[in-house]
């Protein structure tokens, strides 16, 4: 009877669990985590073999779990949540650390760039349809949710293996600990093809940046102080302009590549040569220069701040310090010289408190234009409408000399939807005519900017042609027109290792104005010819102030 009872305690059909099953589950969970952290961004350019590379970050996560796991003890949800969050943050950091250099031609600065995330989302909203934005946000949310759930399951599986009872012939916890230590040693000297990159060295750089913030601020403050001292010692009455109107026209993403990249130059150069010939036939002369912008692929406000201050403003820290400084901005010099100062900003939708530093007498933002037509990507209205509005509302009938800055946004990425050109400017009116005209469309999107060369070239030709016609219609020979790009287009469009230079064109029928810039290194015509390296964009500020003043120096704000 005893033997019969013994046999009924363990039914014959119940199989003995395989000692290999926990090992296989453990290995599968770690492979998933390793593959996820090794996954290249964007996946479209991924080499599938990269999924087999050893991820140092994955090894660190495993080593941390080996230290925390105890046989027979459950894994606390808060600990599992912390490891899941760490893995997700590692992946997001990897993505950002690859995206930022691909757009801005510089390394990610987590402290500064994270503050611009709302602007990035707003840019996506402006340049895509609401349906596309909504689907993208839903897709991103679902992707993060799925990744979080799968990581949670994988980490729980790792813990179950580490905290389980030793099974012959394996002690998973001991072997995992030894293997983690060995692999961390191996990854330090292993070939790059076998080992993926780690975010920890980059994160250490971010921590060092935060710890050095005071020193960084001090350096920027010193540059502002030097500029203030130079201004106090510089004549700044702008009397040599003889109250001539001055127009500063900033073109979005107008970089040196428009001339130096054969893919763009083949289209842009003939249009520029034609504009040069026609302007000369109207009595205008011109000269040009390459200047080095403080930003690349984006961050236009840094270039605007540089132009306004005469100081290279290459980070948000420098920008914020400038706004709080007593440095006299460019528009204020014109205010003091008796000019009416106006800044036209068609892509600014809300009141702009930062504009108080720039000291323009009038700030015109998007709602002020009264535009009644469609938007075109980032540009809420066509550049042609903006220039026509400035001509009708600002230039015509002006009794005071004018200093007008106009920001043209039609050449902003993603370049796939552009406004048509109206030969008859009298039809522009409130812009409602553009509702009846088809836009220029190109077959690509944000994820395919490497294919955007024809669209980018078209945008630059469009703005050059438009500016030439604007000058023919609305600018008399006494004025000084300065056309400048704010930065190069993104890296994906023009490639890596490109200079940060932008073209500057000076156009006027007054020979003395052109000669002053020629004396400062500008070359004749609309095609710049200066070899590298190029001076900074901040020099344009001093070229104006120093080149066209002969009387009293500036005072502080």
CA torsion 426-428-434-436 (nearest 10°) is: -40
Residue length, the chain?
557
Q: Which residue range forms the structural domain that includes residue 167? A: 16-211
Per-residue pLDDT, 405: 98
Residues 469-473: what's their mean pLDDT? 95
Neighbour-count burial for 470-487, b at 16+ CB within 10 Å, e otherwise: bbeebbeeebbbbbbbbb
Q: Is residue 97 part of a domain?
A: yes
Spatial separation of the C-alpha atoms in residues 294 and 312, rounded to whole Å? 6
My answer on whether 150 and 89 are in the same domain is yes
My answer on whether 326 and 444 are in the same domain is yes
Two structure tokens written together for 141: 């949310």
My answer on whether 254 and 168 are in the same domain is no
Spatial separation of the C-alpha atoms in residues 213 and 334, rounded to whole Å? 35
380: exposed, middle or buried (C-beta count within 10 Å: 0-12, 13-18, 19+)?
buried
Residue 32 has pLDDT above 90, yes or no: no
My answer on whether 346 and 402 are in the same domain is yes
Per-residue pLDDT, 286: 97
My answer on whether 282 and 409 are in the same domain is yes
My answer on whether 256 and 199 are in the same domain is no
List pLDDT tens digits, range 534-549. 999 999 999 999 999 9
Q: Is residue 66 part of a domain?
A: yes
Helix axis angle, 172-187 to 20-38, nearest 10° = 30
User: What is the rounded end-to-end Cα distance, in angstroms, of the chain?
Assistant: 105
Per-residue pLDDT, 245: 97
pLDDT band at 489 (very low <50, low <70, confident <90, very high): very high
Q: Is residue 220 part of a domain?
A: no
My answer on whether 293 and 171 are in the same domain is no
Q: Is residue 216 part of a domain?
A: no
Per-residue pLDDT, 436: 95
Domains identified in the chain, total number: 2
Q: Which residue has the tokens 């980018």?
A: 456
Per-residue pLDDT, 170: 57
Instruction: Reduce the DSSP state of residue 536 to 3 states and report it.
Output: strand
Spatial separation of the C-alpha atoms in residues 476 and 284, rounded to whole Å? 9
List pLDDT tens digits, range 180-232. 777 777 666 666 666 777 888 888 888 898 899 999 999 999 999 999 999 99
Q: Is residue 235 part of a domain?
A: no
Spatial separation of the C-alpha atoms in residues 422 and 437, rounded to whole Å? 9
pLDDT band at 285 (very low <50, low <70, confident <90, very high): very high
Choice between 43 and 403, residue whose per-residue pLDDT is larger: 403
Q: Which residue has the tokens 């971010």?
A: 206
Q: Is residue 178 part of a domain?
A: yes
Per-residue pLDDT, 4: 42
Residues 348-366: what's their mean pLDDT? 91
Q: Is residue 217 part of a domain?
A: no
Residue 107 has pLDDT above 50, yes or no: yes
My answer on whether 401 and 321 are in the same domain is yes
Phi, psi of 533 (to 5 degrees): -80, 155
How many other CB atoms are there within 10 angstroms of residue 307's CB atom?
26
My answer on whether 193 and 277 are in the same domain is no
My answer on whether 362 and 465 are in the same domain is yes
Q: How much is the pTM?
A: 0.83
Residues 375-390: what's their mean pLDDT? 94
My answer on whether 197 and 73 are in the same domain is yes
Residues 113-128: what's their mean pLDDT? 70
Per-residue pLDDT, 5: 44
Q: Is residue 337 part of a domain?
A: yes
Name which of 5-9, 192-196, 264-268, 505-509 the model is least confident about.
5-9
Neighbour-count burial for 32-50, b at 16+ CB within 10 Å, e otherwise: bbbbbbbbbbeeeeeeeee
Single residue among 211, 229, 262 that ends a domain in this structure = 211
My answer on whether 292 and 400 are in the same domain is yes
Q: Are 63 and 80 in contact (CB under 8 A)?
A: no
Choice between 286 and 60, residue whose per-residue pLDDT is larger: 286
pLDDT band at 243 (very low <50, low <70, confident <90, very high): very high
Single residue among 188, 211, 234 that ends a domain in this structure = 211
Instruction: Please state, for a pLDDT cut of 90, what percent of the chain lies above it.
Output: 53
List pLDDT tens digits, range 62-104. 888 887 777 777 777 887 888 888 888 888 888 888 877 777 7
Choice between 169 and 117, residue whose per-residue pLDDT is larger: 117
pLDDT band at 3 (very low <50, low <70, confident <90, very high): very low
Two structure tokens written together for 115: 């503050």
Considering 37-41, 55-59, 355-359, the range whose residues carry the highest mean pLDDT is 355-359
CATH number reported for the structural domain that contains residue 419 in this entry: 3.40.720.10
């Amino acid at each position: 009877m005893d033997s019969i009872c013994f046999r009924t305690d363990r039914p014959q059909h119940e199989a003995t669990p395989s000692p290999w099953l926990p090992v296989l589950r453990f290995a599968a969970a770690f492979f998933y985590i390793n593959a996820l952290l090794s996954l290249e961004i964007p996946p479209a350019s991924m080499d599938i073999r990269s999924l087999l590379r050893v991820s140092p970050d994955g090894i660190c996560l495993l080593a941390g779990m080996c230290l925390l796991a105890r046989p027979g003890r459950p894994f606390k949800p808060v600990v599992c949540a912390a490891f899941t969050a760490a893995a997700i943050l590692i992946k997001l950091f990897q993505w950002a650390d690859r995206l930022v250099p691909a757009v801005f031609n510089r390394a990610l600065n987590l402290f500064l760039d994270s503050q611009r995330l709302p602007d990035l989302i707003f840019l996506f909203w402006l340049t895509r349809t609401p349906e596309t934005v909504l689907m993208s946000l839903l897709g991103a949310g679902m992707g993060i949710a799925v990744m979080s759930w799968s990581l949670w399951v994988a980490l729980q599986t790792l813990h179950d293996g580490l905290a389980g009872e030793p099974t012959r012939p394996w002690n998973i916890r001991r072997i995992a600990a030894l293997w983690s230590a060995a692999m961390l040693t191996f990854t330090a000297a292993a070939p790059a093809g076998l080992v993926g990159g780690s975010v920890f060295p980059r994160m250490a750089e971010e921590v060092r940046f935060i710890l050095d913030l005071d020193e960084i601020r001090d350096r920027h403050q010193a540059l502002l102080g030097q500029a203030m001292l130079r201004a106090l010692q510089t004549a700044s009455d702008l009397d040599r302009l003889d109250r001539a109107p001055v127009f500063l026209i900033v073109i979005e993403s107008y970089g040196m590549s428009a001339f130096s990249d054969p893919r763009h130059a083949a289209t842009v150069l003939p249009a520029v040569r034609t504009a040069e010939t026609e302007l000369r036939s109207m009595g205008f002369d011109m000269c040009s220069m390459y200047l080095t912008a403080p930003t690349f692929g984006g961050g236009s406000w840094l270039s605007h701040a540089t132009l306004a201050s005469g100081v290279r403003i290459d980070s948000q820290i420098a920008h914020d310090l400038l706004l709080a400084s007593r440095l006299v901005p460019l528009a204020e010099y014109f205010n003091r010289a008796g000019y009416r100062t106006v800044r036209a900003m068609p892509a600014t939708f809300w009141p702009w408190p930062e504009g108080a530093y720039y000291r323009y007498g009038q700030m015109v933002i998007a709602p002020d234009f009264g535009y009644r037509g469609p938007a075109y990507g980032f540009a809420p209205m066509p550049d042609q409408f903006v220039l026509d509005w400035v001509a009708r509302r600002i230039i015509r009938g002006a009794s005071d000399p004018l200093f007008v800055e106009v920001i043209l946004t039609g050449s902003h990425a993603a370049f796939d939807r552009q406004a048509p050109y109206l030969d008859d400017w009298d039809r522009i009116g409130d812009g409602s005519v553009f509702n009846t005209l088809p836009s220029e469309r190109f077959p690509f999107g944000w994820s395919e900017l490497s294919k955007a060369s024809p669209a980018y070239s078209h945008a630059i030709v469009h703005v050059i042609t438009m500016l030439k016609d604007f000058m023919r219609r609305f600018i008399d020979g006494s004025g000084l027109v300065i056309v400048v790009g704010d930065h190069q287009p993104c890296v994906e469009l023009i490639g890596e290792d490109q200079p940060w230079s932008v073209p500057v064109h000076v156009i006027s029928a007054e020979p003395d104005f052109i000669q002053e810039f020629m004396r400062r290194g500008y070359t004749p015509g609309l095609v710049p010819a200066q070899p590298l390296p190029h001076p900074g964009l901040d020099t344009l500020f001093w070229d104006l102030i120093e080149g066209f003043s002969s009387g009293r120096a500036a005072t502080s704000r």
